[in-house]
Structure formats: structure tokens, C-alpha cells
Amino acid sequence: MATLPDPVERVYRGEDWVAVYGAGYVGLGLVAVYLRKGLRVIAVDIDEEKLRLIRELRISYGEPELVEAVRKGLEEERLVLTSDGVYASRNSAVKIVTVPVYIDWVTKKVSYDALVSASRSIARGLRRGDLVIIESSVPPGTTEEVVRPVLEEESGLRAEEDFYLAYSPERVYIGRLIKDVEERYPKVIGGIGPRSLEAASRFYEPIARKGVFRVSSTRTAEFEKLAEGIYRDVNIALANELALAAEALGVDFYEAREAANTQPYSHIHLPGPGVGGYCIPIYPYYMMMRVHPRGYIMELTKLGRMINEAMPLHVVRRIDEHARLNGVDKRRAKITILGAAFRGDIDDTRLSPTHDIVGLLRAHGYKNIVVHDPYVKKDPVLEDLEARLTNSLEEALAQASVVVIATRHSDYRDLPLSRIKELSRGEPVVIDTINYIKVDVEYPANKLYILGKTPLNP
């Protein structure tokens, strides 16, 4: 097999560039990681508005180290922002792909359009000896069955013979991405063959202080990423089920959980109003869609999804019960939800349980719904549902008849009931789905519900 040019050596010597396809939460974080290592980076995204905001350093979702790395990269001209994927490919030796693989949340059909489009752009500028690493979360087999054929057919080159192709899943938590990549976890890498595995490993070895974890194939690496998410989804489902069981039995779930977790093999998670984000809710479907046609039904994974997807309905039922007990008029009463993001202290609302709660409230006849979030400035889903979004807690709580705490934002941590009473100018029904509020005043039992803590039949 002929010797190929070394793309890793070229980028680390500063002779060539790294191109990152997709400048969203993960992609821009990786851009920052590479810049911090002294590499020259081309960030590619089809959204010109997103590129403009990055250029102006208006990055709301990045940790300070990310923003500083981008700022320095722009100043030193080691960072180029472009929407031209072919240009980026022609001018880079290493191409990193972080564009999403979408799923229709109703039909559960997967769309590879964005991934195929990025692959085509890369192929049209692909050079002999280049390295392509897919980091998007994908169904097992995607690198071999979707990406490889596009790269080979469009470029006329062959993976492993003429260029390197590997899969290395992003294993990051939004808001701490840089430390996750650089310090916290080994980088899992699978290659289309041994040469690709070696090249991708050498690229990440100087970056990941925990080193790289090599697996036998891209399919194994793809499977590993989904397994991490499914593990968490199933365990959250268990926590939700135990919380509802505790309600039925009149037990404080959180007290029982604390005691149970003193046992070293018990790691019971926290319950909540559902599971959001474009990761954990999606991964079970990526896996099931590839496994079920081969004759195996993932019963536990499927049941975990059913439990977690039913939690917003459980929340709305509790809202209904307490509203009815207190004579709340659905057509006139103001319903305030604290938290639009799917997770605390970020602005990402993708597949947020709040969307489901608002949609169900609408279906149940509630008309005046306001959502507060300290980080989210705009949310098209909430706009479609005709729910008003505000960043002002005072505005959100003023004259509220029902207050729902839905997201673990630091702003809501230990929010006193007395403060809710003060800002609402009354004594609203309070539905706490995350056990966050501080009960610092006497409050009527029929006006306060805490998931996993309030008995089902007090």
C-alpha cells in the first residue's frame, strides 16, 4: 500500500489547517480546543447569521475559555469562518464533522441530509492523504454505509488507500466542553481500517490528556456513543418511576434516594419533567432503528423512553388537579413556567420538556402561558405554541395563578416560596418538578406539589 502524506504532522507543524463542519454547540467548542492547541482552524457553517455572531464574539452558550480562544484565534488570523464547505476542504488536511443527523420526532425517521451535504463538500475538496473524522452522533454503521460512499464516489479516492476516515464521538457536556475534551475523558476512536485509526489517534493524542481509547471499528465507536446516552436515559426513567412510586406510597423519594445511594453500587438519578436535548432522547431511536430490522427488540430501552416521554403529561395532570382544587379558570389564569432550556444554565431548548408541557397545557384549555428563562432569548417552538417568553422573573411571576419550576437553572436554586408569593402578589399553585424551591413559609397543601415528595393521596 502506497505511503500517504501525513495530515497530522502538517497541521501540528502549522503547514495546514483543520476544518470543522458545523459551528454549533459542539463544533465551536472543538474549534476552541484546536485553537488552544495552536492549530489553524476553518469553521464551516451554512448559517451566515451564526457565523456573524461568532465573528462578533456574541457566543451565549460558550464557557469563558471558549470565547477567549475564538477571540484570540480571530485576532491572530488562525481562525477563518466560512459557509463554503468546498473551500474549507481544499484548504485543510484534517476535516472534523459535527453536523447533526436529524430525526422526525413524530415518525422517528432519520434524515442524513446535513451529513451527506457536508460529506459532499468535503469530497469535492478532498486531497490524497487527508484525514476525515466524523464526530456527529449517528446510528451504528453510518460512517461505513453513508459517509464513506459519498466521499469515495465524489472524490474518486478510496478510504484507507488514498485518505483516512475515522469516527470519534463527541463526549461532552454543553457548558464545560473544553475541559471534557482536554481533561475529563479519553477520546474514543474507531477507524475504517488500521491506517485511519492510527492517523485519527495521533491527531487527538496531544489534545486529550486522558489519552485515546482505540476500538476495532467505526461501528463499535458509533455504538459506544449511543450506549452512553441510553444508559443515562434508562436510569433517568428508573428515577422517574421510583419518584412516582414514592408519591403513591407517601414516601419522600429524595430522602430514600439519599439513603439508597450510600450503598456503593446504587447510583439512583434525579427525577424530572422529562428528558430533553438533541442527545439522550434521540440515541435510543438511533439504536432501535438499526437493531429492530435485524430481529431484536430492545424492550428495556423502549420502555425507558416511554416513561420519560410520559413525564410532561404527569406534570400537566398535577397542574390540572391542583388548579381544579383551587378554582383556577383555565381560560383566564396566568400559567408561568420557569425554564425553557432542557438543562440548567444553558440556552439550548431542543426537545425541552417545557415544549411538551406547554403543548399539553394548550390542549387542556389553558390560554395564558408565560415561560421565563434567564438564558433563552428566542424560541420558535414557544412562539408556535403562542407562549410568551421573558427574561424577567418579575414579569413572569406577576399575577401568576400557577407557577411551574421545570429547569435546573441556578437562578431557581432555593427560590423561596415567600419570594414567589411576593412577586405573584398572591398565593399561586406551585408545581415543582425538580425539588428546587425553598419552602420557607407555611403554604396550603393543596397549592404545593413537589415531584416525588407530595403524596398522591394526602
Residues acting as catalytic residues: 225, 279
How many angstroms separate the first and last alpha carbons of the chain?
A: 74
Assign 3-state DSSP to the chain and report helix, strand, coil percentages, each to 5: 45, 15, 40
DSSP letters, 97-161, are E----EE-TTT--EE-HHHHHHHHHHHHH--TT-EEEE-S---TTHIIIIIHHHHHHHHS--BTT
The DSSP 8-state label assigned to residue 182 in this structure reads I
Q: Is 455 helix (H, G, I), strand (E, B) or coil?
A: coil
Q: Is the torsion defined by CA of 335, 338, 340, 342 positive or negative?
A: negative
- Rounded to whole angstroms, the Cα distance separating 235 from 232 reads 5
- Rounded to whole angstroms, the Cα distance separating 175 from 344 reads 10
- Rounded to whole angstroms, the Cα distance separating 23 from 194 reads 29
Amino acid letter for position 357? I
Q: How many CB atoms lie within 10 A of CB 266?
A: 10
Phi, psi of 86 (to 5 degrees): -70, -45
Length of the chain: 458
- As a whole number of Å, the CA-based R_g of the chain is 24
Q: Is the torsion defined by CA of 172, 174, 177, 183 positive or negative?
A: negative
DSSP β-bridge partners for residue 371: 337, 389
- Rounded to whole angstroms, the Cα distance separating 269 from 237 reads 9
Per DSSP, helices labelled H in 156-252 are 177-179, 194-204, 218-249
DSSP β-bridge partners for residue 98: none
Strand 402-405 and strand 94-97: the pairing is unpaired
